[in-house]
Amino acid sequence: MKEGLKYFTDTHLTSIGLLLFFTFFVGIVFWVFRKGSKNYYNQSAQMPLEDDL
């Protein structure tokens, strides 16, 4: 464990990176589950089944 952690000496940068990635992840989750997005995802799910020849 010491061998793997010896490269993470700057804990400030590591903490900022973790915070940025976590914020991005939470933002994506809110974007996916936002109000009104259900219709968009239902339409996208039905697109391969539509026959527009």
CA 40 to chain centre: 18
pLDDT band per the 50, 70, 90 thresholds, residue 6: confident
The verdict on residue 14 lying in a domain is yes
What is the residue-wise DSSP string for 23-44?
HHHHHHHHHHT-TTHHHHHHHH
The verdict on residue 53 lying in a domain is no
Q: Which domain holds residue 35?
A: 2-48
Domain count, the chain: 1
pLDDT in tens, 11-34: 888 889 899 999 999 999 999 888
